[in-house]
A and B are shown apart, each in its own frame.
Chain A
Amino acid sequence: MADIVIDHVVKDFGTFQALQDVSLVVEDGEFVALLGPSGCGKTTLLRIIAGLETQTAGRVVIGGRDVSGLTPRKRGLAMVFQNYAVFPHMTVFENVAFGLRMQKASTADVKRKVERAAALLHIDSYLDRYPAKLSGGQRQRVAVARALAVEPAVLLMDEPLSNLDALLRLEMRTELKAVLREAGTTTIYVTHDQTEAMGLADRIAVMYGGKIEQIGSPLEIYATPATRFVGGFIGSPPMNFIKVRCEQGIVRIGNITLPCPAGCEDMELGLRGEDAMIAADGSGIPFDVRVVEPMGSHLLLTGSINGQLARIVAPPTATINAGERVALKADPSRLTWIDSNTGRAVGRA
């Protein structure tokens, strides 16, 4: 088992800076998701940890050993690739056994470990087949089994579920979480899918433009985004941002006032659609409903607050019609205040 320290890593591709001074500590046995839109540098960071890419500056330390200058095979880790990279010319057994064979494990050892990994991923009945005969989901299981068979201290996963269809993805996600918890492997998991990151990870590092915007538990990142980007990227619907003016610690919005943190005047009020409740007495933030979408589990209301687009989630039984104006209440502790100039959250300890 091993912890991972990413120490001020920079990566330039010509004049383009893919990673700008990224630092991150992953504890032993922890599951950290690197989450961000495409082009944010998450895959580049993963490939640098793997050794498939060389950083321009900075260090990677795994289990107390500086591996910055080592080739991938000397780093003692395993990886699952986005397009599986299951060897087409080898049977499932030989694929899963590949890492063990490279370690010159004894035949009995190989057989035992391959069978255990295969049983864990429910591929034990396909061991003598070739990958071309398997479905996408089964190939993904082979790729995960191949990685787990070597009992790695560190497991890197690069969007492993993104090539699967929605239903299979949900199933694999649940299974992956159970399997990895049992193995206790330190895992770094790259994804652009927030539900995967939220569901799987102990902590999420949200990346944007070659930087880590925020690191925290899924709930922290959801409830208290550190920047406007994080609030807008996480959650469905994303957090609403309403431009307001803060005067002497008070914001006036509709017929109510809200206390706001001091420090700046131009602010944005970050409000999660789920945190807003419709006030029965009609006093609160005025929300002009334009579209009502019944989603089954909830109503999705799209409209505007002070002329700015907002999406609010209401109970499925609420009777709200398009064109209505409703008043919204929210727990002040669930609100996020963003400095309009810096895009960063203010007034948080």
Chain B
Amino acid sequence: MIAKRPGGLRRAILSERERPMPARTSWIPYALIAPSVAFLGALFIIPLVQTVWLSFSAGEGVSLANYQRMANDLNFGLAIRNTFLLTLVVVPLQVILALVMATMVSKLDKGRDMVLWVLTIPLGVSDLAAGLAWLSILQNTGYLNSALYALGVIPGPVGWLSQETPWTLFFGIVLAEMWRATAIVLVILIAGLQLIPKEFSEAAEIFGASPWTRFRKITLPLLKPSLQSALILRTVLAFEVFAVVYALGGRNFPVLAGEAYTWQNENQNYGVAAAYAVLIMAISLAATAVYLRALRTRPEQLP
């Protein structure tokens, strides 16, 4: 009916809503995301491509020479072992600790924000500063030794962070990392806990579930998406660990990011440093892929 009417009339009866959008608006979305794209391109994608390129170019043409040199280095095996050991110890401990803390904080009625604020203070401290703070505690003339000496436990300064005491050095680094970075897991988990309606836990309680069973059967499964985010974030950052280790152990405890730093600045060999960087990225991507698969929440199981 409408199509048979004269064009002028047809235009006239088209309502405001039906009229096609003016063509000039089509570039607006692209203009709006352009700054982000430019920013990411300049500061992330170009350096990434350059680093990958750098790691494969040694002397003439494309080669694996940098990777060979990296793998043949004395510290390479140690750095791999230490980085994985640190990640495997620190990340699970942080998640468990954060779960306990998140459960406690979410049970608080009063002063909840205050407690959360205090617990997240370490997040505001740079990792190098955190490492130096722990160095002042753990070094030979540090606070720990002073306290132990005053208590009569030790006769004089004890070296905790030296090459001869790798386990106390490792333990010190774990402690510092726990102090510094557990709060980020805590924040993610608290946000996740708040998303779970309290009726689920109440229903479970009515039907006879003990607090531990409620945590295991209700809270933990429903917290899985948040746990996944926290684990990915923390694991990726743990593979990049550097400043705290550098402050406490120097090269006594080689890690991957530390080796990249050494090759870049002391050895002035940018190719091998780039190879380390690419290796860290590959490990991080692999870990992320593992988490995405292992902790996947099927869409039909979402609340």
- Listed in ascending order, the chain A residues whose CB lies under 8 Å from chain B are 50, 52, 71-73, 77-79, 81, 83, 85, 87-89, 98-99, 102-103, 129-130, 132-133, 146, 150
Contact A133 B203 (CB under 8 A): no
A71-B205, A73-B207, A133-B300 in contact; A83/B199 too (CB < 8 A)?
yes
Question: SS class of chain B's interface: helix, strand, loop or mixed?
Answer: helix
Bound state CA distance, A74 and B240, in angstroms?
Answer: 50
CB distance from A341 to the nearest CB of B (A): 43
Closest to B208 in A: A102
- Most chain B beta-carbon neighbours within 10 Å: one of A79, A89, A130, A146: A89
Q: By DSSP majority rule, is chain A's interface helix, strand, loop, or mixed? A: mixed
Partner of A72, one of B206, B222, B299: B206
Residue B221 interfacial (CB < 8 Å): yes
Q: How far is the CA of A324 from the CA of B217 in the complex (A)?
A: 68
Shortest distance in angstroms between B244's beta carbon and chain A's nearest beta carbon? 37
Say yes or no: A98-B207 contact (C-beta < 8 A), given A52-B202, A83-B197, A87-B218.
yes
Answer whether residue B106 sits at the interface, using C-beta atoms and an 8 A cutoff.
no
Q: Which of B211-225 contact A (CB under 8 A)?
A: 213, 218, 221-222, 224
- In the complex, which residues of chain A have a beta carbon less than 8 angstroms from the beta carbon of B22? none
Asked whether B204 is an interface residue with its Cβ less than 8 Å from the other chain, the reply is yes
Instruction: Please indicate the chain B residues that have their CB under 8 angstroms from the CB of A73 in the complex.
Output: 205-210
CA distance A79 to B207 in the complex (A): 8
- Counting chain B residues whose Cβ lies within 8 A of the other chain, the interface size class is 20 to 34
Q: Specify which chain A residues have a CB less than 8 angstroms from the CB of B299 in the assembled complex.
A: 132
Task: Known A-B contacts: A77-B206, A88-B302, A132-B302. Give 12 more (CB < 8 A).
Answer: A52-B205, A72-B202, A73-B210, A78-B207, A81-B202, A83-B197, A88-B301, A102-B209, A102-B213, A130-B298, A132-B300, A150-B207
- Which residue on A lies nearest to B222, using beta carbons? A89
Task: Indicate whether B167 reaches chain A with its CB closer than 8 angstroms.
Answer: no
Report chain A residues within 8 Å CB of B221: 89
24 contacts between A and B (CB under 8 A): A50-B206, A71-B205, A72-B206, A73-B207, A73-B208, A78-B207, A81-B202, A81-B203, A85-B197, A87-B200, A87-B203, A87-B218, A88-B302, A88-B303, A89-B221, A98-B204, A99-B208, A102-B208, A102-B213, A103-B208, A130-B300, A130-B301, A133-B300, A150-B207
